[in-house]
Chain A
């Protein structure tokens, strides 16, 4: 009886992980396919499709664009999120509850709505679609996340430490730069890295707000219209590997810091 229950539990766990990871594993596996179709039987391993990816100017440009947009928009979101959290946690502001709600609300709005809204607004204002508008869009969706993570870590203890800094003669900007930001670095970094992963594979806003220069997900989408191809698997694997590496870095960095406290 006991062994049967254990067996069922094991089967369930295997099924869950298979459900989550099998598609990814298949995608990665067939990116190493030798022949032209990413379907069984597997006849690799071969790196020819990776070579094709990195030989394609459009794909490498899109990859560089994605990196640029992800890093800059996430840095901006982390900075603005920190400033908003500091202001709301340390000063008595009018309607601070409402302001907090308004800052986090975009988390619950669909990316499609945000993208369309920004598209309409930019065309009304005559702002041409470009990587800059994509970056603005990604800052809009990631700011609530950075704000919420940073705000949740601001406590009374840090407030006392800030008071000690002021007592010793620090000005407001010195308190923020030398004391508050370093103390909150794990939270700010977590917000930044999560934002990078979200921006990295965000499609709909990037699709709506870009024109000539596009990000990687948009480029992949146009590739997909030409049908199945191991090269698409290879691009997908690169995207996955990057996100995975980021999450790993975040875990290591923050977990290590968390244990030291």
Chain B
């Protein structure tokens, strides 16, 4: 079973603290959506609102077209995988997984068979008689997943489920989560602060900050064409250079430290800002070396300040002459041995450039 999730104008405050500000988003049925953002950005609060553990101060939540805003968790077609797993410590795995079915008065024989099938789905076949304390963290994680899926929810909510696992296990569980989601077809809403994890598993990423949705879309779009400075910076590394914009024929031109350069108009996410200030953003891996061929954006010369070997590339901080010594980050080829203080000439493919509306002071929430 699967259903779509709609969040309409949801706000929530804890006393004086505003955790969610007018959040509106929709997640298609059967999609794997990831709520991504720094700690305290409201993503877990939003998950609790969808799951029925918190009732928002304002706004509506719809699941499968049905308004569930006032329904408690028990009566929603959702189940949650908690960050600390929250397994029943006094029950065997079989009883843990079958708990939801027991609450739905499914006969014992049937629920035992279903529990066993669920344990098989998560790779814990034949372990129904074990107790939770006999398991490793990764295995507990799987039991929590099996328990939540056993009642065939329309939407499965996952609250940083991989947060407590070590990196290797984490990457492995990501692949498994994705595979399991494909098999059961349930809508997954997954919360994380790890952008690599988000990109690895999501069909749809919702970037959040300070209680607001900053961007929503498929990972590729959010990474390559972020709609806000925050999501550009949060999804991997990015360089930002303030520029001015001018309309020029069908397109626009950017005016700034790198001279005047024409760009197609659709490059700017918010065309209303045309003519005003904007920010040119580009990813470190899109910075190219050498003289700028025609049609590319010339970044001019710069001095290498610092360089570090990062496996697949070399990460360099380069002070650009055009920025009066302002630094950018560029990923240089793995094979290229560059000394600090070397002079380099750099350019950028305009197709890779991102134009963002300028933001006056960016609000972040702490905690």
Contacts and interface: CB of A to CB of B under 8 A. Distances in A.
Tell me, yes or no, whether A binds B. yes
Contacts of B86: 157, 160-161, 163-164
B89 A183 contact: yes
Nearest to A161: B86
Specify which of B52, B74, B78, B147 lies most central, judged by the most chain A CB atoms within 10 Å of its CB. Answer: B74
Interface stretch (A12-20, A165-173, A232-240): A165-173
Interface stretch (B96-104, B120-128, B213-221): B96-104
Contact of B79 (A157, A168, A183, A185): A168
Interface string B56-78: 00000000000000001110001
A168 B103 contact: yes
B80 interface: yes
Contacts of A182: 88, 90
Contacts of B222: none
A261 B89 CA distance: 9
B133 A160 contact: no
B133 A166 contact: no
Given A157-B84, A164-B80, A169 B90 contact: no
B99 A160 contact: no
Given A170-B103, A174-B103, A165 B84 contact: no
A179 interface: yes
Contacts of B78: 167
B140 to A, nearest CB: 12
Given A168-B147, A183-B90, A160 B74 contact: no
Contacts of A183: 88-90
Nearest to B78: A167
Contacts of A261: 133
Contact of B51 (A167, A185, A260): A167
Nearest to B72: A166
A261 B148 CA distance: 24
Contact of A166 (B73, B87, B90): B73
B82 interface: yes
Nearest to A167: B73
Contacts of A185: 90
A169 B89 contact: no
Contact of B73 (A160, A163, A260): A163
A164 B51 CA distance: 11
B202 interface: no
Interface residues of B, number: 24
Nearest to B53: A163
A182 to B, nearest CB: 4
Contacts of B80: 163-164, 167
B88 A160 contact: no
Given A160-B84, A260-B133, A166 B74 contact: yes
A119 to B, nearest CB: 43
A161 B100 CA distance: 13
Contacts of B148: 167-168
A163 B82 contact: yes
A167 B79 contact: yes
Nearest to A159: B86
Contact of A169 (B74, B82, B87): B74
Contacts of A170: 74, 99, 103
A156 to B, nearest CB: 9
B104 A169 contact: yes
Contact of B88 (A167, A171, A179): A179
A169 B72 contact: no
B151 interface: yes
A164 B82 contact: yes
A221 B92 CA distance: 51
Interface string B34-55: 0000000000000000011100
Given A167-B73, A260-B133, A161 B51 contact: no
A17 B74 CA distance: 57
Contacts of A165: 88, 99
Interface string A213-226: 00000000000000
A160 to B, nearest CB: 4
Given A167-B73, A169-B100, A161 B88 contact: yes
Contact of B103 (A157, A160, A161, A169): A169
Nearest to B52: A167
Nearest to B104: A169
A182 B90 CA distance: 7
A164 B97 CA distance: 12
A171 B89 contact: no
B82 A168 contact: no
A235 to B, nearest CB: 40
A129 to B, nearest CB: 42
Nearest to B144: A164
A163 B159 CA distance: 13
Contacts of B51: 167
A260 B74 CA distance: 31
Contacts of A157: 84, 86
Contacts of B99: 165, 168, 170
A166 B148 CA distance: 12
A164 B146 CA distance: 13
Given A164-B80, A167-B148, 10 more contacts: A157-B84, A160-B84, A163-B82, A164-B82, A166-B74, A167-B80, A169-B151, A170-B99, A183-B88, A183-B90
20 contacts: A157-B86, A160-B84, A161-B87, A164-B80, A164-B87, A165-B88, A167-B53, A167-B73, A167-B78, A167-B80, A168-B147, A168-B148, A168-B151, A169-B100, A170-B74, A174-B103, A179-B88, A182-B88, A182-B90, A185-B90
Interface of B: 51-53, 72-74, 78-80, 82, 84, 86-90, 99-100, 103-104, 133, 147-148, 151
* Shortest beta-carbon contacts, A-B, top 5: A168-B100, A169-B103, A164-B86, A182-B90, A160-B86
